[in-house]
Amino acid sequence: MSAQKRPLSPHLQIYSKQITSVMSILHRITGVVLAIGSLGLLWVLVVLSLGDAAFSATQACLSSGLGRFVLFAYSACLMYHFFNGIRHLFWDIGKGFAIPDVYRSGYAVIVLSAMSTLGIWWLALQGGAA
Amino acid sequence: MSLRDPLATARGLGSAKTGFGHWWAQRVSAVVLALLTPFVVYCLARYGIADFAALKTQFTNPLFSAVCILYVLALFWHARLGLQVVVEDYVHHGAFEVILQVLVKIVFSFAAVAAVIAIFRLASGS
């Protein structure tokens, strides 16, 4: 069918990357990761409600090296999607569309999500958690 | 109240008619999640994983459980709406797209119900 052969826009092979487009697709990618990861949160809630034996197995799994890595990646995705989502909500009410503002808020999101991810892990490791 | 021009309705022109509902639900759930995520993340980081008993006793506070129920409902609603758009945008293989769309609806409806039941169990302290 000829409809299948239409060129893709933007033409990804020659499309120059900008912080705006990269952050936009990152919002989607982190969104998909978080949606799948939310089923992990459901799992934690379920085993928590099932009692000590069920929870300690999950706890051991999450405390392992791989478990911590997954939790770290999840928290980083969550913080990025959280701050960038707030940026999107401001756009939705018509604020911050000027190009300098878009770049400023973009860099702010990157800095805030990095700092808050470190903050979460500082807090978690302080209490001996994770 | 409809903001659509009556003539547009009569002619049957315009968008697919129900698109705004999806967009609005995505924003409303986003606002709920934006407000509650700091609290949930703080609880998970503060009590999480290692301090099982402390985390569990939090649920006996009805306000805590209510906030958690609101959170999981907004979370799975938001996730389902978001995945729906991602599948619409990137999956263009007829039957596969339909199966994925239905699967997303079923999985996240199930997740929302299961999460609420788990929180009820925790709230009743069983």
pLDDT confidence of B46, banded at 50, 70, 90? confident
How far is Cα B59 from Cα B88, in angstroms, rounded to an integer?
38
Q: What is the ipTM of this complex?
A: 0.87
| Mean pLDDT of chain B, nearest integer | 89
Put simply, whether A1 touches B (Cβ < 8 Å) is no
Which of the residues in chain A have pLDDT under 70?
1-4, 127-130
Nearest to B115 among A45, A82, A123 (CB): A45
Distance of CA A36 to the CA centre of its chain: 11
State yes or no: cis peptide before A7, omega within 30 of 0: no
Distance of residue B19 Cα from the nearest chain A Cα, in angstroms: 15
Give the per-residue pLDDT at A108.
97
Give the per-residue pLDDT at B26.
95
Contact status, residue B115 vs residue B72, Cβ threshold 8 Å: yes
Token pair for A34: 């978080």
Contact status, residue B63 vs residue B119, Cβ threshold 8 Å: no
Give the per-residue pLDDT at A129.
47
Token pair for A99: 């190009």
pLDDT at B24 over 60: yes
Name which of A39, A123, A97 is nearest B118 in CA terms: A39
pLDDT confidence of B18, banded at 50, 70, 90? confident
**Range with the lowest mean pLDDT among B15-29, B53-67, B98-112?**
B15-29
Q: What is the mean pLDDT of residues B24-47?
A: 93
Please report where in the chains the tokens 């967009």 appear, as a residue.
B23
